[in-house]
Structure formats: C-alpha cells, structure tokens
Structure 1
C-alpha cells in the first residue's frame, strides 16, 4: 500500500497516486468498496452542513480507486439515501475478493491512507472508517494499531536524535534561537524539524515512511510536498500539544497545559479532563486515567490546580469532617431517598454549605473560561489536522461542554467522540443540539439520578432542574447516547474513584491496571442511542449485525 498526495490548492503536485490496496481489487470489488462507503456516508452524516464533505469524499474515493467517472450518478444516488438495502450485497462481493481472503483489513488500511493523503484527517473520515470496519468485521484494535503504526512512522521520520539536536542548536544560537523557542523546538522530547529545517528532515521522513508505505510512498513524503503534509497533519514543528503551554496572562486563567498519558505518536488524539484534585492516590491530574486503553495519542489537561485542590478538600470536609455521624445517617435514610425531588434541603447540610459553596463557584467560573481557551487551542490546530476525542468528569466535563459550545460557532471542527460524565452543565435540548454540531461520532452523557452532592452544589442555579449529570439528554440525534451510571456511581466522588469501571460502562477502551476492578455491579442502562457503544448510529449497528451474520 502506498500513500500519495493528490493535487490540492494548498500543495500542488503533478504526480499521480501510486497503486494502492483498493486498486488491487477487481472492478466489481472496487465498485462495492466505494458503494459501501457511499451508503455509510448517507447514514452517518445527514444534514446540509455535511453535504460538501460527503460529495468530496466519495468523488475522491472514486478517483483513488480508478473507477470510471460514469459511476458517479449511481454513487450520488447512494449519498441521497437510495440503495441502502444493497449493503449486504456489497459486503458479499468484497468477501469474495481474493485480496481479502484472510480478512478485510486491507480495505480499512486503504481508507486510512486515502483519508490522510491531503495533509489532514477529518473526524468524519475516522467515524466512517470505524463504521465500515465494523461492517467488515475488522476489530477497532486493528484500526488503532494501523493508525498508530502509520503515525509513528511518519513522526519518527522527522525527529532528531539528541546529538543531532545539540549540534543544530549550537549552530543556531543567537538570532535564530528565539524563533525556535517560539514554535516549540525547545520542548524536551517533543517536536521535529519539519517546517523549520525543511530539507534536513527529508531523509528521515523518507526512511520512516518507507517501512509502512513502501519506497514510492517514502519518496513522495521525502519531497517538499510530503514534508508540508506532515507539518500540516501533526502541527507546527510536530511538537503538537506537548509543546503547548499557555502564556501566564490569558484572561482569568492561571494554569493550562497538556500532560502526556501515553507514549508514541498517533493519527488521532484523546484529551482527558479531570474534575477536581484530592490528597493521596488522586492528587494528580493523571491519576483517574490510568486504565485508558487504545484511544490514540493521549493527554490530560492540567488546569487551575490550586482551585481544584481547594475544591477537593472542601468536598472531603463536607462528607467526612463537618457532617456528624447522626447527620450522615439522616442523609442516608431520609435525604438520599428523595433529596433530588425535594424543594428544601436539610438544615444540617445547609449549615455546612459555606465550606464548599465558594470553591465550587470559583471552579464553575474558571472551568467555563478554561473550556473556551481549550477551544481556541484546538481551533488553532496546535494538535495538527488530526481528529480529537474528549472525555471528562464533573468540572472536567464542564470544561469540555464550554469548549464545544465555543467550537459550535465554527464549521468543520475535528471532534470524533465526546464523553461527559457527571457534568454540572445545562441539560436542555437547545444547548446540546448546538454542541452536537461539532461532533462526528458519539456524544455520551453519563449521569446518576442519585448524585445528591451534584444536586446540592447546583441548588442555587436557575438550571438546577435540568442538570446533565443527573438526567438523560432528550435530543433526537443518532450521536446522542445516555448512560445511567447509577449501578456504578453512588455519589459524586465515585466519578474519580470508580473511573476504571465507568470507562468500561460508557464504552471507552481500557487496559488492565494492577489492583483495579472493572466489574460492573449491576446493569448499565443505555438510552437515546444504541447499546452497541462501539458504533453509535442505530442504523449502523443494525448493518453491523447483518454483516456479522453474513460473514459468520
């Protein structure tokens, strides 16, 4: 399989694409491949805002597969919703292809190569690939592994060794040093020379890319066009989010930077946002996310740690110190049974409110500002033109909520999946419909109706009867998935303590962690979506089941 860039306005190139995996199929197989993508595009990305993407993707794929342009009217019919009943036939045709005798992985790999050839990896492309992978019975892990292999090869191709970096910096001291610092080349362990030293990076690019893409692909990437593609895909100088640290004077925000959760480079990213900090085991931003599995290149957001520590201490004091044993029993037997539907709160609880109300309000305001700043970072493509997934709990979910609200003012933002857990945000349909416009894949709202602490903290808000972390979000959208976590979450602090199990419940890939428990204590209720958490669209899940039956 080879990767070659088609001519674009940004990176003109006279070369024709090299022969790719898809072109090794029979003509009938290539038609079935494109048709299956056309039907899937129609199912996944409805709405006028996605019409240009649907048409351009399918037109480009037809050219990529060397199909005759005369098939475009038929492909257009698939995009308009006609012929979806033929998906099983397309799957059967592909199954009979000699190239796919050992499995359909080559199709998925070819789709990834096609999707990144123009120096960007659109979130909608990745959702489409994930969906087609499901239909073809290619596991999500296989897709992740190929993306990681390709991403590592492309990134390693442009990285300098420590010795080379030292020699270069000595030569460049003086007038150029400031320039390098500004674009992140002084980042320890991060960054490449792409976009700065140009030709110096080319041989490294070619060598690394050749391992995955073959000699032709390596040569293409070693050209000026190839280097431009990599710089665009991975961000300025390749440093990406590891090279980003906020200037100290940005509005009311004191602290904002990204901490890596995983090693290696990938074609897509996951950013996790912690909701508060405590003492002991959960004193770091990274602590709740130790079980995150194959989720691409992973980071957690370090933000406003001083205030989040104050909040964590206040919550612990409220629950463990200020409430007497008698009051705790009262809460247990009288409050928890109906506290969220009551119009008044127990006097003992209100008396302790002064301990937590101020740090909570401070963090509410700061989380909104941090969310808007996160939107600016993503909008500036600090991560390159790669798709991003976001996951957060409590105030971390609020950060993500405000990030998405801000991004909703733009078009074509690169968000794949979003997981908001115990979110202290407005749960109204209008707010979530606006947010949904910038998400290509799943929007998961993890809630617990019995989370009395969240209800208490939000008691003074005008939106207290519509808090996302306490109820399902009722919007008619194939992306929206509500997960009742009451079997796992008994109180708001469990969002941190039980994160390993919560990730399993909401469908986030996990890995084994020593001493962690992943067992669900009861049924997890999923509404407003599909129980197949690996693919959010009901129509997509149904087709996936048919494909499994057909090929099983």
Structure 2
C-alpha cells in the first residue's frame, strides 16, 4: 500500500489493520517470527545456567600450536598444558556451582516463568490473527464503531489526540543513529520475509504487536525485549517503538479517565480486582489518584477513544479492540497497568517492611520539572516504562536527583531517596578523605606500585590507615542500610508500585549495592519479568559468578557492570570485606553469560567521579534513552570540578600534616558538614509541611 493511498484512506476514517494490510502468508510469517524470536530468548535463559557457555566478552583464548610449542617428540610443551588445565578447572567450577540444589531450583523456576509467558504470547498472536481474519473487510464498519463515542467525548479527545500525535520524545533528546546501531548489536535480527515489506507496513506491524502484548493486561520485561527484537528484525529504528509506547500510554490513560462509573460496571471492576489479584499492600494509597477505579465501558467505545487519541498510529477502532482484548474493557485493569498510585510512585510506602530503613521514597523527575522532584507524575509524562536512578552517597540534598537529569523522556524517571543521614555522613567523609594530604601521599604511593592487586593484600600506606576511622564506620553503616533498602525496593516492585510495567534500575556506588540486594531478593522470591535492564557503576559487591548468575536470572534485558581499575577509594573501602571473591567495581565479571563488562578506567579516575559521569557513561554504553544536552552540561560541570581540585592540590603542594592531627581535624570537619546538610534538609521538610498544611 502506498503512502498516498494511506493518506487518502485516513482522510476518510479508513484506518489500517492487520487483516487488510497483511496477506494470509504474511500473517503466517508473523506467527513464525514470534516463535523464532521467543526461541532465541529461551536460549538466553538456558545459557545463564549452562556450564559450557562463557560470557561472550570473556571467552578463553583459542590455543594455537606451532612448531615452537612442541618438544622433540612432538608432544605439547608444559605451557599449553597449563592453559588447558585452567580451562578445564573453570568448566568444572561452573558445573559444580550450577549443580547445587539452589541453582537448579532457580533454573527450573526461571524456565517455567518464561515458558508460561511464551505460551501466552504465541496463543494470543494466533487468536488475534484468527479473529482479524474473521473481521469483514467493510470499511464502513470500522468507521461506525470508531464513531460510537458521544460527541462530547470526541470533542474532548480531538485536541488531546493532536497534541500527543505531535510528540516525538525520542528525536528530541536521543542520538537516534547511535541508538539504532546499539539495537542491532544487542538484539541481532531474526531472519524474516516481513523485513522486505514497506516501512509503512512494518511500522504498523510493530505498533499492532505492542497493542497485542498490552492485551495480555501487563507489559512485563519479556514483552518489551520481544518488541525490541521485533523492531530489529523488521529493520525499524528504535524511536518508532518509543513513540508508539508514549502514544499508547497517553491513549489508555485518557480513555480510562473517560470511563463511566455506573453501578454495573463498578461491580464488574470490583470483581476484576479480586480475580486478577490486584493487591497493593502499600500504605498511603488514600489520596493517591488511582486511575479508573470506578469501572469501564464496552470494548468498542473504549477502543474508539483510544484509536482517536492514538491518532497517527494507523490502527482503527475495530482492530484496536481486538488487539487490546480485556484491557479495552476496564479502567481498573488500565489503572493496574500504570500502578496503584496512578500518577505517582510516591507516598508513605510499606511501613511493615521499611521499619529499619529511613526516608525511602520515589521522586518523579519529568518534563519541565526534571531539575527538581515533584509530588506526582504529570499526565503528559506517563509512560509504559519506569526508570529508577539510585545515588550512592550525598554531600548535598541535590545529589539525590542531579546525577539522573541525563535520563531521557521515553520512560517515567524517578530518583530513589533513601537513608539520607547515612549517605550524607558517608559523602562528607569520602570528600574529606579524598581532599586530605594523607590521601594525596597515599595515592602517589599506590600509583607507583606495579601490581594493583597488592592493595587487596592490605599493603596500604600507613598515613592512609591513620585516617581510615573517618570513613570506615560511615561506609559500613551505609553498606548495611543499602542491603536493607534493597529488600524494600524488591517489595515495592513485587507489590507493583510501578504497576505492570518493566523497570530499569541504574545506580552507582552504594546505590548499585542497593540494586544488587534488590535483584538477589527478587531471584530468591522468583519475581521474574519485573526488571528490564540494570546498570551498575563502581559497585561494592563480590564479582563471584554465582552471585551474578542469580542477578542475571531476573534481568531480561541488559545487565551491565561498569568498573574502573583506578578506583582506589573503592578498593580501600572494600578491603575488609570478602575480597577473595573480587570486587565488581574494580574488575570484569567472569563465567556468566550475557553480563556486559564495561571498563571505564580511562574515564573514571576516582570513585567520587561517578556521580558526575552517569550521563557520559550511559551514552558510551549505548543506553537507549539519554538527553545528550544534559550529558554535555554534565561534562562541563566535571571539567570545572577537576580544575577546582587541581587548584586545591597545587595549594597544598609541599604541605605536611601529622596523620593523627589531620585525622582529628577531618573528624571535626565531617561532623560539621554533615550537621549542616541535615539541618538544611530538616528546615526544607518543615517548610514543605507548613506550606501543604497552610501553616504560616
């Protein structure tokens, strides 16, 4: 179908659908494509638990034998025997690790979850395609059903539809070319004749598949990865999927808002809540804007409203209703998709779980307010995906949100506020130690050594050990709190605070430690399908393969370990932990398939640089949703900081302080700075409380 024909049809309300765009043979190819892609995804699950499969970027070098490597009798020399022995021992270690009952149970449950999801997708594709075959090819029917909503509803929808149709979230803040290169590299195309269709048809197909997957009444991480693989296989740019996700979110929410609340539909909605186990289990729901709790409308009416709002998506009301299924029938299900809090993952969360974790809250960072947190996510900022950024220490209250401003607009972005007091004490301690004369002397000595591994043998400069009491206790306390906060985050995700949408988690330092704790908890509780991708930077956790294999099992998309061999502070902080397992923030993870190890040693010269490099690192690893303007601003800030540090270092050149005296001075300085930061935050909270309650 030509573009001009499509425009002519649209002008007459003649929206396209799969039953008329795809031939019978092409619909068979669609089923085959879904089956093949999900088979590839299934193999990825199998590879996690396969002892013979190594990480793609950690494969052992191939052994090449030349005449120089042979003894006079033609046998291999001892050198190669060592290589073979090393390879054999690594395989035996993996096999032993994977044979333990705990890992076997995890493998079994991961497979069962995936198989259930795969079967539901394949069955739904088959059912919907069959139904579309049965829809009469009468354009008048599409027009009449789409026109079912009353005139007032249509009048209200049209301007919103036009505004949404003009949104192009990906192009405004993302380097599209880089994103598409990363898409093909990360999710290699599956061969299909459908890739030779016109771009118009391929686009329609991708959009229809999104609606079809939403018809499962959830949008789990597996479904999102499936769509990424479909886009790659159909040779479509990533921004088309991002735009469609945005329009679908807006269309569903607007349709849900228009649903009536009569007694019968309300009763059906209550039944749906019980039948679908839509349990929140969270405190503070009262007052939250839960969308669509008052009921639903007939599918054609809702589908007509959605089709109108999703103007430009190219799918008519009849096909929309068939693709969305039960999702088009109930505002409760739509509300559940977007989370129990409607417009906000905020409020007082999970008191029963969070008694030992202070100040745990999600701060929305969206739209024009992305430079500061807001109380609720605005309607125009709602998305089908959620991204949570987690800072690892604080020196000022802005550190909770500033590192995450480089995240783009394709998902709902939240900063996690947690344990402010513990993180502030750690941040001020880190800052003081790094600026100290003891650290300057120690760093020169460390760099002069030829083997960095010697640091893990406790061969630390005496002057640095003298000031260790300034930092050891705050780090130990914050590390313990990070582990507990990770359990609370896992509870929040399992209880669907984010709704039935995939979540991406990004953190540095102890923020990454928190994510590690969360993922391990999710795996232990078999909570698959919640997490799409994870980026961990400078992570103080073991590099042990068993731990990362467990984490990998609950991350459907990318699991990225960003490390730096120059992170001497992390090595110092972690020196008293289980160093025999290695430290993820200092080295690559071995022996686990599909872990992306990214060496940022050239960029990250110290642990405290991570918070100023989040955007730059995400850009370099091909993260799909980055605001490149914010990345540029981030880099300018870091340059200014480097100049300031250089000047301070020059001012201290030749200065000598007795380590004990310097430690005492630092202790006073840390206490003073911490108190100032916490007092400022307390005053701000009081002001906010008084403002909201009307107190003067």
The TM-score normalised by the length of structure 2 is: 0.60
CA contact (8 A) 1:276 1:309 kept: yes
Measured after TM superposition, the shift of residue 294 of structure 1 is 4.4
The match for 1:344 among 455, 459, 468 is 459
User: How far apart are the structure 2 equivalents of 1:242 and 1:24?
Assistant: 43
Q: 1:253: which partner in 2?
A: 357
2:561 corresponds to 1:445: yes
Q: 1:390: which partner in 2?
A: 505
The match for 1:184 among 285, 292, 306 is 285
Measured after TM superposition, the shift of residue 259 of structure 1 is 0.5
Worse-matched range after superposition: 287-296 or 377-386 = 287-296
Within-5 A mapping of 1:191-206? 191-195=289-293, 197-198=294-295
User: How far apart are the structure 2 equivalents of 1:361 and 1:68?
Assistant: 60
Within-5 A mapping of 1:396-415? 396-409=511-524, 410-415=526-531
2:382 corresponds to 1:284: no
Measured after TM superposition, the shift of residue 464 of structure 1 is 5.3
Q: 1:538: which partner in 2?
A: none
Q: 1:422: which partner in 2?
A: 538
CA contact (8 A) 1:154 1:205 kept: no
User: How far apart are the structure 1 equivalents of 2:205 and 2:33?
Assistant: 11
Within-5 A mapping of 1:75-474? 87-88=190-191, 90=192, 93-97=193-197, 100-102=198-200, 104-159=202-257, 184=285, 186-187=287-288, 191-195=289-293, 197-198=294-295, 207=305, 210-212=308-310, 214-216=316-318, 217=320, 225-236=329-340, 238-243=342-347, 245-247=349-351, 250-263=354-367, 264-279=381-396, 283-321=398-436, 323=438, 325-334=440-449, 340=455, 342-409=457-524, 410-463=526-579, 465-474=581-590
**CA, structure 1 residues 86+357, in 2 after alignment: closer, same or farther (shift >3 Å)?**
closer
CA contact (8 A) 2:588 2:597 kept: yes
Measured after TM superposition, the shift of residue 471 of structure 1 is 1.1
2:38 corresponds to 1:41: yes
CA contact (8 A) 1:392 1:400 kept: yes
CA contact (8 A) 2:503 2:533 kept: yes
**CA, structure 1 residues 125+244, in 2 after alignment: closer, same or farther (shift >3 Å)?**
farther
Whose helix fraction is larger, Structure 1's or Structure 2's?
2
User: How far apart are the structure 2 equivalents of 1:251 and 1:265?
Assistant: 30
User: How far apart are the structure 1 equivalents of 2:511 and 2:365?
Assistant: 16
CA contact (8 A) 2:536 2:560 kept: yes
Worse-matched range after superposition: 223-232 or 110-119 = 223-232
User: How far apart are the structure 2 equivalents of 1:363 and 1:223?
Assistant: 43
Deviations 1:27-78 (A, max 9, x none): 1111112211211111112343322322221122122222999xxxxxxxxx
User: How far apart are the structure 2 equivalents of 1:518 and 1:63?
Assistant: 54
CA contact (8 A) 1:272 1:299 kept: yes
The match for 2:633 among 515, 518, 543 is 515
Q: 1:535: which partner in 2?
A: none
User: How far apart are the structure 2 equivalents of 1:96 and 1:249?
Assistant: 53
**CA, structure 1 residues 405+295, in 2 after alignment: closer, same or farther (shift >3 Å)?**
farther
User: How far apart are the structure 2 equivalents of 1:243 and 1:206?
Assistant: 34
User: How far apart are the structure 1 equivalents of 2:424 and 2:398?
Assistant: 8
Measured after TM superposition, the shift of residue 325 of structure 1 is 5.0
User: How far apart are the structure 1 equivalents of 2:441 and 2:638?
Assistant: 31
Deviations 1:141-185 (A, max 9, x none): 22111101111222234459xxxxxxxxxxxxxxxxxx9x96635
**CA, structure 1 residues 106+300, in 2 after alignment: closer, same or farther (shift >3 Å)?**
same
CA contact (8 A) 1:248 1:254 kept: no
CA contact (8 A) 2:561 2:589 kept: yes
Q: 1:26: which partner in 2?
A: 23
User: How far apart are the structure 1 equivalents of 2:435 and 2:303?
Assistant: 56
The structure whose Rg is larger is: 2
User: How far apart are the structure 1 equivalents of 2:283 and 2:232?
Assistant: 43
Measured after TM superposition, the shift of residue 192 of structure 1 is 3.8
**Tell me, what secondary structure is at the counterpart of 1:516?**
helix
Measured after TM superposition, the shift of residue 199 of structure 1 is 5.9
Deviations 1:105-142 (A, max 9, x none): 21211111011112101211110110111122222222
User: How far apart are the structure 2 equivalents of 1:383 and 1:472?
Assistant: 31
The TM-score normalised by the length of structure 1 is: 0.75
CA contact (8 A) 1:504 1:518 kept: no
2:61 corresponds to 1:61: no
CA contact (8 A) 2:529 2:556 kept: no
**Tell me, what secondary structure is at the counterpart of 2:399?**
coil
Q: 1:165: which partner in 2?
A: none
**Tell me, what secondary structure is at the counterpart of 1:284?**
helix
User: How far apart are the structure 2 equivalents of 1:214 and 1:369?
Assistant: 48
Measured after TM superposition, the shift of residue 242 of structure 1 is 3.2
CA contact (8 A) 1:442 1:481 kept: yes
User: How far apart are the structure 2 equivalents of 1:64 and 1:205?
Assistant: 15
**CA, structure 1 residues 39+325, in 2 after alignment: closer, same or farther (shift >3 Å)?**
closer
Q: 1:166: which partner in 2?
A: none
Unaligned runs of 5+ in 1: 1-17, 70-84, 161-178, 522-552
User: How far apart are the structure 2 equivalents of 1:237 and 1:289?
Assistant: 22
Worse-matched range after superposition: 373-382 or 500-509 = 500-509
CA-atom RMSD, angstroms? 3.5
Deviations 1:294-330 (A, max 9, x none): 4411111110111111111000110113526544543
Measured after TM superposition, the shift of residue 86 of structure 1 is 12
Unaligned runs of 5+ in 2: 1-14, 47-110, 134-187, 259-279, 368-380, 640-696
User: How far apart are the structure 2 equivalents of 1:494 and 1:432?
Assistant: 25
User: How far apart are the structure 2 equivalents of 1:297 and 1:33?
Assistant: 31
